[in-house]
Structure 1
Amino acid sequence: MAVTFGGAISPERVLVWGAGAIGGTVAAYLRRAGLDVTVVDANAAHVQAIGERGVAITGPIETFAQPLPAFTPDKLVGGWDTFFLCVKAQNTEAAARQLMPHLAEDGVVVSLQNGFNELTIAETIGRERTMGAFINFGADLLEPGVVHFGGRGAVVVGELDGSNTPRLTRVHRALQKFDPAAITTDNIWGYLWGKMGYGALLFAGALTPASIVEVLDSRDARPALTALAREVMAVAAAEGITPMGFNGYDPAAFGPNGTGAKIDASFDAMVAFNRRSAKTHSGIWRDIVVHHRKTECDAQFAPILKLARRSGIAIPRVERLVLLMREVESGTRAQMLDNLAQLDG
């Protein structure tokens, strides 16, 4: 039985921690569908805007404003048994520690993030209270209280050990209120590794001023991007992971048996998928150009670099990507197409 904090905890009560692009979109849809959703965000101006006007969803999918109870972490009171964690990867541990007093004894934290943040969450609050998820829809926080929902993409949720549990059914049912096509999986790590392969391409693209489509569609860029994705997939293989494909990204194309034709087919499919989205640039690119802040690069690739060293696998392009991104983040290197050629050293 879940512990209570001044009242019974219902499966329909959800707390979304981090109400930016991802969290704000999911929270607005779930609340509109009738779930009892509360949001928490560290940005006081964003919280104030939500409190006054709700979360405004804009873009080609739908336009609506959804009232939501919103708090900064220091103002939150009460307890929940279902958390969707939607903060940047580098803020995962701090957020997990902040939410712990509000998490029911048998509650669960679901990571709606990029990277392997489930590892950090599990280390902080316990593996038995952690659930994995994979999301690939396009959204951007435009200003306090306003989120642009640019395009739908894969939404997958799964237990870390691959088991089928009642709480997985409950969380899946909630996510279907956001996207009816959301699915469960017994291989959530496969999806997370697949996303990291694709994510490496997005990080490389953010070294340039070009859009996602322009980078993926560039025949000149594809050799460097292919080599980068191959390195990530090699580490996954060494870990015994079977990466899963999604929205055009075919992990097998970037594996040891991938042919030139399969690689081009995957790139073409990724281009076609991204052309359908109103989100033209990645959140990584926006962190640099719009928000002028550090990206998730270090936090997302640190586990891969660690695993590669442990297995004795050379991934020089991934290492170079991290170094180049640090220079772009700091302003010592300009975003330019030539940066892709620099991935080879």
Structure 2
Amino acid sequence: MKRLAIMGVGSLGTIMGAYISKAGRQVDLVDANREHVAALNQNGATIVGNVQMNVPVKALTPDQMEGTYDIVIYMVKQTYNDSAFPQLLPHVGKDTIIVACPNGLPEEIMADYFGREKILGAPVGYGAEYIAPGISKSTTVYSKMFMELGSLTGEVTPAVTEVREIIELMCPVHITTNLLGGRWSKLYLNAAGSGMSTVLGCTFGEIYENDTALNIAVELGKECIEVARANGATMIPMNGMDFDRDLYFTDEEDKKRVIAIWRSDFFKAYSTGTASMLQDINRGAKKTEIDAIDGVVSQLGRKKGVPTPRCDKVIEIVKRMETRELKPGFENLKLF
């Protein structure tokens, strides 16, 4: 059987590792957090929230990795690429496939480092929260969990099919021939939902309930759609939601329609979750993924002459949180 690893088993990776291990597939769960690795080995992976289970797993720190892997599912936040890439490289062989799962647009960065032929992309369609070493909370209703999967060329290769079979030990996998479109759809959710969850220090559901917060969120989403279009990307539907068609608005009256969609069942499936950036801030982290999320939208917008004032403001606020100048909270609404 081919050697498989998940690198970066935080909240999301712990859940995936638990499902794959529960199905009887050998997988190494790799993480730099030694306390987390020790707890996983001693107590197993404990999943709470919308899914309840405890599964024995094999966990390692990067320095404990040996040999090369056939498939690596890379779930490290882009914030830590500078340290994680060199740790992974010695364990990447001639035919190793690396599945890029981080938020943002990680595929080209990883292709430049590891080789374009090695990279598949897999935008994540479920949420989670790190509770404690060895414990992850599932924040997405199980029936709504999914992942997208595709190659950089759009071709459905044998590697795509093989990786799909592995990830489907956890949840449905939608193979796409438009990976970039899938990335932008996920980026919409992250830039708008995760950006506001971090700024306000709240769950996604609390955004939907606050008129002012939700108004800003849908405007963040509109900026994301406009930048995607300017860069030649066509967002793909996710779980039946056509982002480009259904979530774009042209005037204040049309915005009311989009706000109503944000309060529909599609978004409610994520209502109990919080942004991983907020989780990082609350743990005292000095750096978040903001540059890889709203930052990407803002950067690519500038290159194409598309204004992104809402994204720019979210970036500014989160950067001030990183330096502890600001705290998450609804009082930050006055900064917009």
TM-score (norm 1): 0.88
Structure 2 regions of 5+ residues with no counterpart?
none
What is the CA distance between 1:281 and its match in structure 2?
A: 2.2
Say yes or no: does 1:304 pair with 2:292. no
Aligned partner of 2:191 among 200, 203, 222: 200
Deviation track 1:284-335 (CA, whole Å, cap 9, x = no partner) reads: 2211124544221023344333322221222122112111111122211132
Consecutive unaligned residues in structure 1, runs of 5 or more: 1-9
Is 2:18 the counterpart of 1:28?
Answer: yes
Residue of structure 2 aligned with 1:260, choices 252, 255, 259 = 255
Mapped contact 1:156–1:182 kept (Cα < 8 A): yes
Tell me: CA distance 1:134–1:321, structure 2 relative to 1, closer, same or farther (3 Å): same
Tell me if structure 2 keeps the 8 A contact 1:21–1:148.
yes
Give the equivalent residue in structure 1 for 2:156. 164
Q: Distance in 2 between matches of 1:252 and 1:330?
A: 38
Change (3 A) 1:249 1:44: farther
Does the alignment pair 1:272 with 2:262?
A: no
1:267-293 C-alpha deviation (Å, 9 max, x unpaired): 112442234xxx442222211124544
Identity of aligned residues (%): 27
Per-residue CA distance 1:31-81 (angstroms, 9 max, x = gap): 1112120111111111111222222222232222x2222211112112111
Alignment-mate amino acid for residue 289 of structure 2 = E
| Partner in structure 2 of residue 3 of structure 1 | none
Moved more, 200-209 or 190-199: 200-209
Helix, strand or coil for the counterpart of 1:36?
Answer: coil
What do residues 219-241 of structure 1 show as CA deviations (whole Å, max 9, x unaligned)? 22232222211111111001111
Alignment partners' CA distance in 1, 2:268 and 2:292? 29
- Correspondence for 1:60 among 50, 55, 62: 50
Say which SS state the counterpart of residue 319 (structure 1) adopts.
Answer: helix
Corresponding position of 2:319: 326
1:137-286 correspondence to structure 2 within 5 Å: 137-151=126-140, 152=142, 153-179=145-171, 181-201=172-192, 202-246=194-238, 250-255=243-248, 259-269=254-264, 270-275=266-271, 279-286=272-279
1:249 shift after superposition: 7.4
Q: For 1:95 and 1:249, how far apart are their aligned partners in 2? A: 34
Aligned residues: 328
Counterpart position of 1:96? 85
Superposition deviation, residue 184 in structure 1: 0.9
**Structure 1 consecutive aligned stretches of length 4 or more whose deviation exceeds 4 Å:** none
- The aligned counterpart of 1:45 is 35
Would the alpha carbon gap of residues 246 and 262 (structure 1) be closer, same or farther in structure 2, given more than 3 Å must change?
farther
Counterparts of 1:73 and 1:93 in 2: how far apart (Å)?
A: 14
Change (3 A) 1:255 1:284: same
